[in-house]
Every structure is written in C-alpha cells, then in structure tokens.
Amino acid sequence: MKHYALAFGVTLWMVMGFTGSLRCQYPIISHDSIVFIENTLRMVGKNVNFAIIPGPVYGTTQKLGFMVVPMVVYSLDKKDLLSPPSSSALMLYADFYGSWAVNIRQSLYWNQNKWRAFVSLGVGNLQLKYFGVNQGKTIISNNDTNYAWTHQKEFEVSMTCFRKIYRGLYGGLEYRYRVANLIGADSSSANWLNQTGALTGNNSESILVPVFVWDNRDNIFWSSGGYYASLSSQVANRLFFSSSDFVILSGWVNGYHRMISNSQKLILAWHLYVQAEWGELPYMRYSMYGQGDNVTGYTRGKYVNYSETTVQTELRYELWKFISCGGYAGTGKVFSSFEVFGQSKWLHFGGVRLYFNIIPSRNIRLRLDAAIARKDYGFYVGIGQGF
C-alpha cells in the first residue's frame, strides 16, 4: 500500500512494504500462532500488535534469497478513534547472488488523522539485471543475451510529513537524500552501461518533494470504499547538491467499491498510474515497468524509459474470515515522450492473489501473488492489499 511517492522502495524496499512487493515463495502461516502472539503482546500493552513475515524470496536477481520483516502496529493515542494505526517495521534481505538490504520504515498517524508522517532509512548492495533503456517497442525475453549484470550500492533516507487541508485532502513535503553507485559486474557489462548512456559511478540527490494526497478510504489496510490518490513533483538540481538535473512528475489514483450493499464480501478495486520525467536521470530514477505494485508479472528492468502509464483492476472476494482471494488484469507501457506514445508496445498482465489476515484486529493481511505477462511471469508477497 503506498503511503507516498516511493523512493527507497524502488530499490531496497522491493521485498516488502505497504506499497512494495517481492518475488517469492510464500511462508507457512499459522493463524492460531499469530493470534497467540498478538494476545500475548496485548497482555503487556493492549494497544500493540506484532507480526513477523519470514520466507524464501526470488528478488530482482531471480536467485533464491531470504528475508525477515518484523512489524509492530499500534495507536499513538487510545482516545484517538479517527487516526489509522501507526507502525514500525524492519526489513532484512539477502540472496545467493550477494545482494543484501536493510531498511527501517516508520509510519505515524495522529491528532484525529490530521497529521501523518513517514520516515524510511535503508542501505544495501543489489545485483541487478540491466536490459538497457528505451526498449519498449519490442517484447523482450529473459535470454541471457538480453541483459548484463550490474552492482548497485545505495544509501537513502526520506522524511515526509502531511497535514490535512480539507476533508480527505492532505498537503505535504518530503525530503530525500540518496547516494548510489551503479557499476557493471565485469568489463563487458561496464561497456554496455557506457554505450547506453547510463549514469554510472557515484551519484547523489538532495530533493524536496511537494506532495498532495486525497484519502477518504474506510480502512488503510483493507479498503472497501473511497479513493486514494497522490500527485507529486521531484526536482533535482546541482544547486541543491545533486549530481544531475532532472524533473519527475507522478500521480496515481485508487478506487474501492463494495459490490454488495453493506458488505465487504465482494470488493472492486482499480488503480491508475502516470509518470513523466525529463533531464539527466540516474538509472534508478527512470520509469521501470514492473518495479512495484503498479505492474506485476514482468522482470524489473526489462522495460525502462522516461515515462510510464499503467491501469489495472481487481475483484476481491472473502472466502473465510482469515482468507480472501482476488483476480486482476491490467496493461500499460513505457515510452520516451507522449509524442511517441503510440509507438510503444502495450504490456498486458494479470494474475491471482491470496490474502491471509495475519493481524485480525487491524485487518492487516499477508498478500501472496502469482502473475503472468507477455513472455514473463512473477511470484510475489507483500503486506496489505495489492493497491
């Protein structure tokens, strides 16, 4: 579930997050054990819920790895019945290609839902498949000859604060500092990076990001009514200690609708995303089709360009009080500019999801996802609804 424009979620938070997702096999979940842990914690603090999300992972490397995500959920003020619960989470990830990542994420809601704040701090070294940029005119296979291996070392911290302006409208400001080092895994990979014009070596960013959010959902973890939308702009400039100059405009909107009156048994959800970029972009700031919940089923990095648009819809059905399922379909494309929008291929995808209610009192669910796309597929796990 997206709280704000993803920054470090693009890279280090890819294996879990309220907005991120990961390729993986699913862990074994025992609801009796989870309820036992939750009830035990409530004997200490009635306002506290706890969950640990472990499991084997297939990340961007397509190699077996492991991650552990302990998460604590709580309310800052027991008398505040309007604010959603706050949360603290730690993500630890490693795989057999040598990738590793550590991320801390803090979400705060307070004062009758008038204020929201998010803090993310992460560091890691990821081994990534590099397919190049501006390849949206053809359908790319996973053959070894179509990509090169790269190393991405990265440190990023972001801080965001929102204030309610009117009803569901929030205005906020995010500060993001990031240092990244992209290099080829060997001499041939380095040559390919240089030939395609990718910014290699150390790059830094120091950015202030104004953000507007509309949020009138009935529940932030499992929405059955309302809308959730965001509009933001990122401007990086050498005057503000960034290594390059670029502009990124992005916006998205989610809608949630009950298909049965006064019931959450059947829910229709839809998602629309648009992003446009200009300037001298670091590689990790390009629009990458399949990098998050906007798109599933595609290997991240296959389709990379300045701009992106995607749309998808999902029908969710409650099978049992702990288990729900969903089926979804979507399409989109990446392209260099809107003038040549029609020249890029439509990249369709679809899949099924299972949701396990791991913290019933908060309606927080573990998400397992299998998707198929054009010459590609993916398996994912995450926390909360797909979008």
Phi, psi of 285 (to 5 degrees): -100, -5
Residue 2 lies in a domain: no
Distances (CA, A) of 127 to 149, 181, 259, 289, 300: 7, 12, 43, 18, 12
Residue-number span of the structural domain to which 203 is assigned: 8-383
- Residue 249 β-bridge partners: 233, 276
Rounded to whole angstroms, the Cα distance separating 89 from 300 reads 24
Transcribe 289-332 into DSSP letters: TTSSTT--SS-TTSSEESEEEEEEEEEEEE-SSSEEEEEEEEEE
Residue type, 328: Y
Tokens coding 248: 């990124």
Task: Please report the pLDDT score of residue 239 as a whole number.
Answer: 76
- Using the 8-state DSSP alphabet, how is residue 36 labeled? H
Q: Looking at residue 172, which CATH number applies to its domain?
A: 2.40.160.50
Tokens coding 380: 């994912």
Residue 1 lies in a domain: no
Residue 206 lies in a domain: yes
Instruction: Name the residue with tokens 């202030």.
Output: 208
Instruction: Name the residue with tokens 């979804």.
Output: 328
Residue 201 lies in a domain: yes
Per-residue pLDDT tens digits of the chain, which is 387 residues long: 333 333 333 333 333 333 333 222 222 222 333 343 444 444 445 678 887 776 665 544 455 677 788 889 999 998 998 999 999 999 888 888 788 999 999 999 999 999 999 999 999 998 888 888 888 888 998 888 888 888 889 999 999 999 999 999 999 999 989 898 888 888 888 888 888 777 777 888 888 889 999 999 999 999 999 999 999 998 887 777 787 888 999 999 999 999 999 899 999 999 999 999 988 888 878 888 987 777 999 988 899 999 999 999 999 999 988 899 999 999 999 999 888 898 999 999 999 999 999 888 888 888 888 899 999 988 887 788 988
| Residue closest to 348 by CA, chosen among 336, 333, 334 | 333
- Using the 8-state DSSP alphabet, how is residue 349 labeled? E
Distances (CA, A) of 377 to 128, 147, 170: 17, 17, 37
Q: Could you tell me if 380 and 295 are in contact, meaning their C-beta atoms sit under 8 angstroms apart?
A: no
Number of domains, the chain:
1
Rounded to whole angstroms, the Cα distance separating 379 from 248 reads 29
Q: 3-state class of 44 per DSSP?
A: helix
- Cα dihedral: 62, 371, 69, 319 (round 10): -150
Residue 3 lies in a domain: no
| Residue closest to 68 by CA, chosen among 24, 128, 117 | 24
Could you tell me the pTM of the whole model?
0.81
| Ordered alpha helix ranges (H), 24-134 | 31-44
Residue 330 lies in a domain: yes
User: What b/e readout covers 302-319, taking b as 16+ CB neighbours within 10 angstroms?
Assistant: bbbbbbbbbebebebebe
